[in-house]
């Protein structure tokens, strides 16, 4: 088992201090090996594996998953098709576009996306090909490269959706449906997960459901509050963090579930 305490941010503020206090309390209680099943039945101060430590997230249990129409295929929800002027999800994409369209925050009628540019430490809200909001973000304490296994401190890269969202110990949390099908295939090839675990992940994604959170690939990866940007540093266990007022905007912009074709109503794209 890997230690559950996150790396301390470079310039801890009150929010960061509270997070460190939780981490120290957990270490003293030797609770780092809590399983996902345990987390859903009692309030544990920290998440197992590469997931974020969120007391309320696991106590409320993680609230019921968002109901959604089943996807049409056995390999997960249909992939988002990038616009002609939009980089693919697995490409760095260069510098994020600078023009903002805040008027679309409440009126967006196109596909909604939450886009994270890891290298730039930026989280954006997109309406179609247009950027609506832009926030500074913090990543896992080992930010370079895609997440591969429990405890590696990395933030995932690829396309995901939000399986549930809830008030949490980090103000608000939106949980990524991690791992995705590509993560599962890579994990199977590396021997990190079994064929049975791989197949269970694929089946869950095909129904627009949260994949199993008990494998060696890591678990409980979220977008949440309590501080993001250069002042905070990369302090999470793999989650993406922004400031509390900003996670409120992300929370409200997100539309849960999938459409009848199995396409998430709000996708999450995390770029290198």
195 three-class SS: helix
Nearest Cα to 62, choosing from 173, 186, 189, 157?
A: 173
Query: Is 14 inside a domain boundary?
Result: no
Per-residue pLDDT of the chain (272 residues; tens, 9 = 90+): 333 335 444 444 444 444 444 443 433 333 333 333 333 333 333 343 345 444 444 334 334 344 433 333 333 333 334 444 444 444 444 555 678 999 999 999 999 999 999 999 999 999 999 999 999 999 999 999 999 999 999 999 999 999 999 999 999 999 999 999 999 999 999 999 999 999 999 999 999 999 999 999 999 999 999 999 999 999 999 999 999 999 999 999 999 999 988 899 999 999 99
The residue with tokens 């490269």 is: 145
Backbone angles phi, psi at 95, to 5 degrees: -75, 140
Query: Is 261 inside a domain boundary?
Result: yes
Query: Is 13 inside a domain boundary?
Result: no
pTM: 0.69
Nearest Cα to 77, choosing from 270, 272, 269, 267?
A: 267
Query: Is 28 inside a domain boundary?
Result: no
Domain count of the chain?
1
Query: Is 142 inside a domain boundary?
Result: yes
Range of the domain at 190: 66-80+87-271
CATH number reported for the structural domain that contains residue 174 in this entry: 2.40.440.10
Query: Is 23 inside a domain boundary?
Result: no
Query: Is 2 inside a domain boundary?
Result: no
Query: Is 229 inside a domain boundary?
Result: yes
């Amino acid at each position: 088992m890997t230690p559950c305490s996150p790396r301390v941010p470079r310039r801890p503020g009150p929010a960061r201090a509270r997070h460190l206090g939780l981490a120290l309390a957990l270490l003293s209680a030797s609770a780092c090996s809590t399983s996902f099943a345990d987390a859903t039945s009692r309030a544990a101060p920290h998440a197992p594996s590469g997931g974020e430590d969120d007391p309320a997230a696991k106590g409320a249990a993680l609230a019921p998953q968002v109901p959604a129409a089943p996807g049409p295929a056995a390999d997960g929800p249909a992939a988002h098709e990038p616009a002609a002027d939009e980089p693919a999800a697995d490409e760095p994409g260069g510098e994020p576009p600078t023009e903002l369209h805040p008027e679309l925050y409440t009126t967006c009628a196109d596909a909604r996306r939450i886009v994270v540019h890891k290298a730039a430490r930026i989280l954006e809200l997109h309406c179609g090909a247009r950027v609506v909001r832009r926030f500074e973000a913090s990543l896992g304490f080992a930010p370079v490269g895609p997440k591969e296994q429990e405890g590696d401190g990395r933030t995932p890269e690829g396309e995901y959706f939000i399986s549930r969202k809830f008030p949490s110990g980090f103000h608000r949390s939106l949980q990524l449906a991690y791992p995705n099908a590509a993560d599962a295939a890579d994990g199977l090839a590396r021997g990190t997960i079994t064929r049975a675990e791989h197949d269970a992940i694929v089946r869950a994604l095909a129904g627009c459901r949260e994949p199993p959170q008990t494998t060696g690939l890591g678990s409980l990866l979220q977008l949440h509050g309590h501080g993001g940007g250069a002042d905070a540093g990369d302090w999470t266990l793999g989650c993406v963090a922004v400031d509390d007022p900003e996670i409120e905007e992300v929370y409200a912009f997100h539309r849960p579930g999938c459409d009848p074709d199995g396409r998430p109503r709000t996708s999450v794209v995390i770029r290198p």
